Structure 1
Amino acid sequence: MKNTSVYKALFCCIAGCVFFMPIFAQERGKVEVIKDPRIDTLIAKRFSFKDNAAASAPFSSNGYRVQLYSGSDRKAAYSAQAKFQEKYPEIHTYITYIQPNFKVRAGNFRTRLGAEKMTQQLKGLFFGLFIIPEKIDPTKADQSND
């Protein structure tokens, strides 16, 4: 009989803890956050940079460029760029390097017709000209040949 009374007492203790514990655990506490005030300043600057960058970031659109040079010689690529810039200083040029080749491309043409006109003008100066469909910056689009 002693065993059953021990079990009953143990059961009552466990049951009491299970049923009455949530009452004590439901108390609301107070959390105090201590932080450096410069964190708020940094967060505010981050949002202002993001807003300014979105407003001033140029968008891109589909267009065309004329490829003047493609090869592994770096000096020849820069020479082709300089040769083009000497004759057409108002038109933007772009050099890209995709291993193992340098590529020199010119223009931000909105239409293929503008790029074809430029290709016709450059036939005597450069060999192996190609018209490349590419993302361009429309704010720098070449108006004279479109």
Structure 2
Amino acid sequence: MKKAVFDHQATPAIIRYCLFFVLVIASTHTFAQQARGKVEVVRDPLVDTLIAKRYEMSSAAGVSSPIASYGYRVQIFSGSNRKDAYSAQARLQSQYPELRTYIIYNEPNFKVRAGDFRTRLEAQKLMQDLRASFSSLFIISEKINLPKTDTND
């Protein structure tokens, strides 16, 4: 009598061969993606004209650098009372008159934020100085106003 080959024994072999075939095809496809090509940029010559015009206008206005960039501010107050927000701003202004402060209203809360710091380390230094005066301090990452540079030096 001959031994019969059952279907459940043949199925794992077929699956292994199919898996091997798929891996071979996938590996050759990934090697084909490594070829380097050339990129050619096609643009309208008016783009260069607009860039030059913008540069002329900004130079004529005396603007030599961007006005805003992303940085950090220290949030010194958050609450729903408007008077408390303005008093927190006044307290900070009395301690640091050269520091810019901002009051932001996101319904129903007022938030008082201070400084325009480019690095988080600068904001942490101010936060450590203010730790005794204000109870809840946070460092917020947002768009800041860059300090004006003196070009006469």
TM-score (norm 2): 0.55
Distance, in Å, in 2 between the alignment partners of 1:114 and 1:80 is 21
In structure 2, the residue corresponding to 1:115 is in which secondary structure?
Answer: helix
Q: Using the TM superposition, give the Cα deviation of residue 56 of structure 1 relative to its aligned residue in structure 2, in angstroms.
A: 5.9
Q: Is the 8 A contact 1:108 1:140 kept in 2?
A: no
| 1:55–1:69 Cα change, 3 Å | same
Give a deviation string over 1:50-69, Cα, whole Å, max 9, x none: x47x9467621110000000
Aligned runs of 1:70-85 on 2, under 5 Å?
70-85=78-93
Match of 2:3 in 1: none
Please tell me whether residue 104 in structure 1 is matched to residue 92 in structure 2. no
Which is richer in helix?
Answer: 1
Q: How many residues get paired?
A: 92
Bigger CA radius of gyration: 1
Percent identity between the two aligned chains: 60
Q: Which amino acid counterpart does residue 60 of structure 1 have in structure 2?
A: A
Match of 1:117 in 2: 125
Q: Using the TM superposition, give the Cα deviation of residue 139 of structure 1 relative to its aligned residue in structure 2, in angstroms.
A: 2.1
Q: Using the TM superposition, give the Cα deviation of residue 82 of structure 1 relative to its aligned residue in structure 2, in angstroms.
A: 0.1
Q: Which amino acid counterpart does residue 68 of structure 1 have in structure 2?
A: I
Q: Which residues of structure 1 form unaligned runs of 5+?
A: 1-50, 142-146
Q: Using the TM superposition, give the Cα deviation of residue 138 of structure 1 relative to its aligned residue in structure 2, in angstroms.
A: 1.1
What is the Cα-based RMSD across aligned positions, in Å? 2.4
